[in-house]
A and B are shown apart, each in its own frame.
Chain A
Amino acid sequence: MRRFRFGAAVLAAALFCVPLAAAPEQAGLCAACHGARGVSAMAEVPSLAGQPETFLTLQMILFRERIRRFEPMNAAMQSMQDAEVEALARFHAALPPPAPGTAPEAERAARGRALSAEHRCGVCHRADYAGQAQVPRLSGQREDYLLHAMRDYRAGRRQGTDTSMQAVLYGLSDRDLADLAHYLATVPLGR
């Protein structure tokens, strides 16, 4: 099923993608799922715009090496050379980050904010959640993707270049993750 969807997406990219200014050749392929200018409109697919360049490079390499498993991304990265990966990372890092999502539900956002403070998300992801180096930007990211990613980390299905996220999410409830995602996705840019 996923394979089919990915195939369709590649086709769509080939047919409809408008080449972006100074975009690497493969950026159209990314845009099919991650959205034009790196802002995703697809459920559980992350926005890439404005992510730290190092983070993007590392994740693409982890997909290529099948250390991080998601078949459409493993397939897309399979024959990608390092220089191409780095060009894609540079390109997406330079795009303006997406604006935060809809106005938060106050109670859930407050709970998410408290959880973020308790677990010190802002130390690595920075106080404005813009990320740094190998640590991704959270502000403006899709809420459903943030939840999906945190569930994967908590379940041990995913890890980054170290085990920080698995450890920090250990023991958090489904509701905790949902409220965290809600808060982080809707926190204003440059907070």
Chain B
Amino acid sequence: MTPIRLAAAGLVLLSAPAFGQQQVPPWAQGRPDSMAQSTLAPHPPRLTVTPPGDVPMNRLRVPAGFRVAFWAHGMPGARMMALGDQGTVFVGTRVIGRVYAVSEQGGQRSHRILAEGLTQPNGIAFKDGALTVMAINQVLRWDGIEGRLADPGTPADLTAAFNLPPDQHHGWKFTAFGPAGRLYTNIGVPCNICTFDRDRFALIVSFRPDGSDRRIEARGIRNSVGFDWHPTTRELWATNNGRDWAGNDEPHDTLHRIRRSGEDHGFPWCVGMWADPAMERRQCSEFEQPAASLGPHTAPLGMRFYTGTMFPQAYRGAIFVARRGSWNRETKIGYDVVVVKLDAQSNVTAVEPFLTGLLDEQAQQFHGRPVDVLQLRDGSLLVSDEQNGAIYRITYGG
């Protein structure tokens, strides 16, 4: 039951981060002088337990026929989720450095801390009984994890094999196994907007599960913290976070369809047909175009195709996307889950609100920050709320 503490995290902090010559925080780079006195800044995380009575259940809204219920809580910083074979839900975090496991026994749901002291263990993937965790410049694997949740033991350390960049900014990972069994992750750009090595950053890459055979799956994607594969075409789809300080409504955060391995999606020059004025001019038509806009500064993160049958026909094959919500925008936007509907040719036909209520537009206050969605085997949908350390479950009918 004693959680294991991983001393390796300290080493990452002690090694000098690669900041290059920048003199402003990464989140403030590219801020024009006209916005120098802007008070916009990233919102603080909450790292303490939100008491169950303070989790804003009464604010949550879902479409008619759906219901949203309190599923788990007391996990500060809860972000990316992965589902184990035996039903365990594994949950990653960023600043607080923990990995949680939520499990049910005898009708009682409880969570425990599986690992702690890691440097932003946001990437969580489960396959063949093993849990893979990606922190910043660290890859760990616990084999047979569901058989020893109480005492997970020492993980296999795959860090050297994966050889991920040590950069902290945009260095946190989303990770998932693809249809062919390769392990995919994002490598975000370590700045807001800059020139950089396009073979090293702003990528989605894949590896063999042992960390060998690195392959660039998509290029010019600034920072994707959520992707999934279309259930029939097997194409990779990914969310992307656009850059800050280019204005309240520019650029848009986006959803990308990657038809072929290695495609170029345009960062740092273009987001769709929007050419970034801070960069050298390029023809945006030479790059792949996003499948959809997900709104400016909305921070779309975790996304999954819905493959269940509990939800009505209109939702089957659609994509649920958690939007964590804006900071670099004078009027707040996001803080919700949207559903992206596709036609038979995978064209996006609509982006609709699904889980709302966490943003009080009148007061310009948010009450939660959805980060990931995860479909359970019964077809219900979990939503993690980082700000409240809670997980909600959405069902239909019944």
Residues of A within 8 A of B (CB): 54, 57-58, 61-62, 65-67, 69, 82-83, 85-86, 119-120, 123-124, 133-135, 155-159, 161-168, 170-171
Contacts and interface: CB of A to CB of B under 8 A. Distances in A.
B97 A65 contact: yes
A85 B48 CA distance: 8
Contacts of A157: 13-14
A85 B17 CA distance: 30
Given A67-B9, A120-B36, A124-B41, A168 B25 contact: yes
A67 B168 contact: no
The 9 closest A-B pairs by CB, nearest first: A164-B25, A134-B44, A82-B48, A61-B47, A167-B25, A82-B49, A133-B44, A163-B168, A170-B19
Interface in B143-194: 168-169
B277 interface: no
A161 B44 contact: yes
B44 A66 contact: no
Interface in B10-51: 10, 13-17, 19, 21-28, 36-39, 41-45, 47-49
Contact of B45 (A58, A65, A83): A58
Contact of B26 (A66, A158, A163, A171): A163
Nearest to A164: B25
A82 B47 CA distance: 9
B275 interface: no
Given A67-B97, A67-B117, A69-B13, A170 B48 contact: no
A179 to B, nearest CB: 17
A66 B5 contact: yes
Nearest to A66: B117
Contacts of A65: 96-98, 116-117
Contact of A159 (B13, B38, B42): B13
B5 A162 contact: no
Contacts, number: 99
A86 B49 CA distance: 10
A57 B168 contact: no
B15 A54 contact: no
Contacts of A161: 44-45, 47, 95
Nearest to A89: B48
7 contacts: A67-B117, A120-B36, A123-B38, A156-B14, A168-B23, A168-B25, A170-B21
B190 to A, nearest CB: 9
B15 A156 contact: yes
A124 B28 CA distance: 11
Contact of B24 (A69, A156, A168): A168
A67 B17 contact: no
A170 B44 CA distance: 23
A123 B36 contact: yes
Given A61-B47, A65-B117, A156-B15, 4 more contacts: A69-B13, A83-B49, A133-B43, A164-B25
Contact of A162 (B27, B36, B38): B27
Contacts of B21: 170-171
